[in-house]
Chain A
Amino acid sequence: MKQYFHSVTLDTEKCKGCTNCIKHCPTEAIRVRDGKAKIINERCIDCGECIKVCPYHAKKAITDDFSRIFDFKYKIALVAPSMYLQFKNKPDINAILTGIKALGFDEVFEVARAAELVTEATRKFIKEGDYAKPLISSACPAIIRLIRIKFPSLVPNVVPILAPIELGAWLAKEKAIIETGIKPNEIGAFFITPCAAKVTCTYSPIGVESSLVDGCISMKELYLRLLPVLKHLKNPEQLATAQLEGISWANNGGESSALESEHHISVDGIWNVIKVLEELENETLDDIDFVEASACVGGCVGGPLTVENSFVATTRISSILDNTTLSPSIYGWSDDIYNASRWKVPLKFEQVMKLDDNLEQAMAKLERIEEIYEGLPQLDCGSCGAPSCKALAEDIIRGYAVETDCVFKLRERVKKLAAEMLLLEGKSSGKNE
C-alpha cells in the first residue's frame, strides 16, 4: 500500500514528550513513545489541533519553500480569501494581490472567485436532486478525511464537487495556457494555505486522481514577505473581482449563506463537528438540508497557519470590501465549469481502525484488548503515552506498546521483583549460615 502522506509532522528537537497533545487529538492518532510524540499517519486528519495546543511548537505543517515557485517558468499564486483578513491596517484587496504578484508571481488568482463558482455548482447539483440528505460541504479537507475514517455512513452525503482551490487551479492554468502558450508542465500553481489539511489534499487529492496545485506556501510565511512590500506599494493593479459571496467562505457560515439554503447549519471547531456528525449518523437531526463544517473555530480564518486572531479577522470582511474597487470577473458560469467542478473519483471509506482483515481474528484481538483493559487502572491518565487505557490496550495488541508502559503496571512489577529479590536474598543468606 502506498504510504499515506499528510502534512502535520513533528519537530523532534522541540518535542519534550509532555503528552499534552495526545488527548487533544480527535482521532487518537498521537502517541508518546521513547520521550517523543509520534503521529499514526493513516489516522491523522490534519485538523491542526495538535499544532494549536503544543506548548513547545513542536507540531508543524509541512509546506513548500517559497523558492520552489522559481522551478516554474510561469508562476500562479492561488490566494485564499482568509489572506485578505490578516492585516491590521486593512489594505484593499487590489493592494494585497498586487503585493503578492510583486513577490515573484506572474499571476494571482482569487480562490474566492472559484468559491463563487463552487456555490453555483452546488446549487445546480442540489437542483438535480439526486443525493443523500443532508449534504455535507466538501470545503474543509480535514472534515472529509474525518468522515472517511470515522463516519462511514456519511460518506455518500459529502457534496461531490471540488474544493475552490482545485477548481481555481484548473481555471487559472487553463487561462495561462491559452493566453501565454506556455506548456502546462511549465506552469506552477501555488496555494497560499491557512492550514495543513489543504496541503495534504494536494498530495492525496479529493475527487480527482492528481491535484493541479503544484505546491503550498504557508500563509504565515507569505505574510512576513508581504508586509514590507505592502508598505511601499503604490498604484495597485486592478485585480480584485471576487464578491462578498466568495470572500465570506473564509469564515464559517459563509458557504451556507452564499448557498442561500434555508435549512442549513454551520458548525466549526473539530469537536463540535464530531458531535454533529454523530447526531447525523444516529439520524437525530431532521429538517436539515446542508451542513457546513469547518475543523477550525471560525472557519478558515482560524486555520493553524493564519496570523491574525480569527474573531478579529472575521469582522474585517465588510470594511475591506468597502475599500476595494472590484473589476468585473472574466469567469462566467458555464456547463464546462460545472463538469470540471464535479468529482471524477468517488470518496471511499477507509477502515483504518480495523484490527485484522479476518473477522474471527479481529474478534480474538478485540477480546484480548478487553482483557488487558480490565487489568489496567482505567484512569486514562496518559502517562503511558497513549490517550486512554483503552488505547494502550489496543496498542499492546497491535504490537506498538507493552503493558509496563503503564506506570502503575510498572510499579506493580517493580514491587513484585523487589519482593522476589528479597526472598531470594533471604534464601541464599540462609544457606550460607
Chain B
Amino acid sequence: MSNNIALHYDIDGKDFTMAGEASSSIKKVLGQLGISPDIIRRVAISVYEAEMNCVIHAGGGFADVVINPEKICITVSDNGPGIPDVELAMKEGYSTAPNSIRQLGFGAGMGLPNIKNYTDEIKIKTNVGKGTSVEMVIYIAGKQPNI
C-alpha cells in the first residue's frame, strides 16, 4: 500500500464553460476520502481559480494532484505566455484579462490573491513565452506546521 494518491486532469483551453471540471472531480475524491468540508472548500476554490487562469490566460493545460495523509498538493501547469511580473500578478485587482472576458464576469484580478488566501503554500514558477505552473499545498486538519 503506497502512501499517496496521484491524479491527473487535462484542462481544455478551447471551451471555458468546461473549466471547473478538475475542481469538481477533486472535490468528489476528497469527499470519498472523508476530508473535512472546510478543507474541501479551500481546495475547490483554489483549484477552480487556477484552472480558470489556465484556460483564460494560457489556452489550457493540466492539473496534477498528489494527496498523502498530511497534505494535498495541486500543481496546475500550462504552456502559455507566462507571467512577466509575478509580484504584480499576485496583487488584488491586477488583471490583464481582455474586455470580452471581463464582460463574462471574470478578470477582477482576484484569482491569485484568493488562492494565496485559501492555501497554506503557493509557489508560482513561470517562464515568459514558455508557460506557468502554480503549485499549491493545503494541509489536512491537525497536520498544519506552524507557519
Contacts and interface: CB of A to CB of B under 8 A. Distances in A.
Interface stretch (B34-42, B84-92, B95-103): B34-42
A155 B1 CA distance: 35
A358 to B, nearest CB: 9
11 contacts: A150-B31, A153-B41, A354-B31, A356-B34, A359-B35, A359-B140, A360-B1, A363-B3, A363-B67, A370-B5, A394-B32
Interface stretch (B20-28, B75-83, B127-135): B20-28
B48 A359 contact: no
A89 interface: no
Interface in B1-59: 1-5, 7, 20, 23-24, 27-29, 31-35, 37-38, 40-41, 44-45, 48
B93 interface: no
A353 B105 CA distance: 33
Interface residues of A, number: 26
Given A353-B28, A367-B2, A362 B40 contact: no
A351 interface: yes
A149 to B, nearest CB: 9
B34 A359 contact: yes
Contact of A282 (B31, B44, B67): B44
Contact of B4 (A152, A353, A355, A363): A363
A282 B20 contact: yes
Contact of B32 (A155, A278, A355, A360): A355
6 A-B pairs closest in CB distance? A152-B37, A153-B41, A354-B34, A282-B48, A353-B31, A362-B33
Contact of B5 (A150, A351, A367): A367
Contacts, number: 71
Given A282-B48, A353-B28, 7 more contacts: A278-B20, A281-B27, A282-B44, A354-B32, A362-B34, A363-B67, A367-B5
Interface string A247-262: 0000000000000000
Nearest to A285: B105
Interface string B132-146: 000000001000000
Interface of A: 150, 152-153, 155, 278, 281-284, 286, 349, 351, 353-357, 359-360, 362-364, 366-367, 370, 394
B72 to A, nearest CB: 11
B32 A362 contact: yes
B45 A282 contact: yes
A354 B33 contact: yes
A282 B23 contact: yes
Contact of B29 (A282, A349, A356, A366): A366
Nearest to B24: A278
A351 B140 CA distance: 16
Contacts of A150: 31
A362 B67 CA distance: 12
Given A353-B32, A356-B34, A283 B3 contact: no
A278 B35 CA distance: 18
Given A282-B23, A284-B48, A351-B31, A366 B5 contact: yes
Contacts of A370: 5, 7
Contacts of A353: 28, 31-32
B51 to A, nearest CB: 10
Contacts of B24: 278
A353 B23 CA distance: 17
A262 B32 CA distance: 38
A394 B28 CA distance: 12
Given A278-B20, A281-B44, A283-B45, A363 B33 contact: yes
Given A153-B37, A282-B44, A349-B37, A363 B31 contact: no
A155 B37 CA distance: 10
Contacts of A351: 31, 34
A380 to B, nearest CB: 14
Contacts of B2: 367
Contacts of B4: 363
Nearest to B37: A152
A141 to B, nearest CB: 20
A357 B35 CA distance: 10
A419 to B, nearest CB: 34
Contacts of B45: 281-283
Nearest to A359: B69
Contacts of A363: 3-5, 33, 67-69
A351 B38 CA distance: 13
